[in-house]
Amino acid sequence: MKKAAIINVTGYSGIELARILHRHPDIELTQVTGRSAVGQKLGEAFPHLSDIDMEIEAEVTESVDVVFSALPQTASAEALIPLVEQGVKSIDISADFRLKDATEYEDWYGVAHPKAQLLEESVYGLTELNRSDVRSATLVANPGCYPTGAILALAPAVREGLIHEDIIIDAKSGVSGAGRGLSLNTHFSEVNENVSAYSVSGHRHLPEITQELRRVRGGFDPKITFLPHLIPMTRGILDSCYATLKDGAIASGPEGIKELRALYESFYRDEPFVQVVGSSPMTKHTLGNNNCVIYPTVDLRTNRLMVVSCLDNLVKGAAGQAIQNMNLMLGLEETEGLEQLALYP
């Protein structure tokens, strides 16, 4: 039985990590920390976790096989650096180790990286594209929730050279994506019966998406317009992705749609948590599970690729993906603890 710890269990991602790890057959959750609830029993802070008899502590002091950090950026790096230097397998759910360029990190997050040399050593933990690197990693940067859906939606078309570099990603997220911190924009009366675009001048997940799509195909330099929206629901992300197909990339007409779907099905055939479907999905198809559901098609009037993807931002977009990475890092079955049907309705 491998031992795990969670740094900052009191955020939504940390809570979800504890919930999923509790039923993992090969992992014992031995320690949790939380800046705002030190000394409380986990079940007192979160009654739905009352079966986990554990006190929330100030910092990780025990020897563990793997540690998850669900702290905000910058604080997460500062907490993980000593553990990484000790050789503890570490998974960061914040953005601190996702970008390879320290200058780009500083531009988007407004602070200098506390240990920039670790950026090159970290592995971007989108398992479906980087599985072999994740297996041998000590430090994994868990992908952002928006990028997970967007990159998985576009990777097959990019890899096969089907599309031009001008890409539009129209994304919608539930309110839990903003975290548990108090904000006027996420108050019930502000969000309910309301939809709004935000970060119109540039969202922090944009450089992450661009970086990883460049890596999918050498020489591909995407020009991405990424616009997120806040939707009045708790969980879920729906990404609608658009790009113009190259002339002759696939057959014309309905045969081209069949060809595209077959290409996506082949690309993800052996992926346990990616489902390519024949009709447009909805977020409830992934509520509570670790799946990303993808629907690729073509707008025949404009010769434009359209890919719709959806996932649960707290599972495949955060805690579930982190556990999927952990399984590989520890030599466990990749699907352990994650085979869960969605909740519906």
Among all residues, which ones are annotated catalytic?
Answer: 145
Residues in the chain: 345
Closest to 95 (Cα-Cα) out of 133, 117, 69, 120: 69
Residue appearing with tokens 């090969």:
26
CA separation for the pair 59, 56 (Å, rounded): 9
Q: Which residues contact 85 (CB under 8 A, 6 or more apart)?
A: none
Closest to 293 (Cα-Cα) out of 248, 222, 344, 227: 344
Neighbours of 108 (CB within 10 A): 18
How far is residue 62 CA from its own chain's centroid? 28
Q: Yes or no: say if 320 and 336 are a contact pair by the CB < 8 Å rule.
A: no
What are the backbone dihedrals phi and psi of residue 64, each rounded to the nearest 5 degrees, phi first? -135, 165
Neighbours of 334 (CB within 10 A): 18
Neighbours of 234 (CB within 10 A): 13
CA separation for the pair 138, 191 (Å, rounded): 40
Task: Provide the H-helix boundaries in 86-221.
Answer: 102-109, 117-121, 127-135, 145-159, 188-191, 206-216
